[in-house]
Amino acid sequence: MTQQTASLAEQIGRDQIRRVINAFYQKLLVHPKLGHFFSSIDDFENHQQRISDFWWMAMGGPLKNRPEPKIDMIGKHFPLGIKQQDLELWLVIFGETLGEQLDEKLAVQWMDKALQIGSRIKQIVIDHQPMGVEIGKPS
């Protein structure tokens, strides 16, 4: 019999993912340097649900109904004018929230994912590298 390991998403669980996202946004929205980025979102409940679904999928969770319209992470971040220091701050606050909300082992694994995705956002949105470029590949 083959043993299947539950995905990170399933180990954390959907409700807990949503709780982490809620706690994260409570910090982001009132943050003096990052809060303004989110002021134009009109349906915040929908936004948080999309972010939770995104993380569920990114951490390997099975999803029957994918978010519609499709998650467009790069397209949505391009117009925001995010700078390197904004991204770093975002990641620090995300890590802080994970540490407060989750067991260390799960928090570390989720943070690894956030750092990976964060570095793709940096390459494409901040450094304007083409989508296909590979990390560590000389240009």
For ligand HEM, the binding residues (CB under 6 A) are 34, 37-38, 41, 50-51, 54, 71-73, 76-77, 80, 82, 86-87, 90, 114, 117-118, 121
Count the Cβ atoms, other than its own, within 10 Å of residue 113: 15
Q: Between 2 and 72, whose beta carbon lies closer to ligand HEM?
A: 72
Which residue, 88, 76, 28, 82, is CA-closest to 50? 76
Q: Between 41 and 133, whose beta carbon lies closer to ligand HEM?
A: 41
Q: Between 43 and 138, whose beta carbon lies closer to ligand HEM?
A: 43
Q: Smallest distance, Å, CB 3 to ligand HEM?
A: 30
Round to whole Å and give the CA distance between 139 and 129. 10
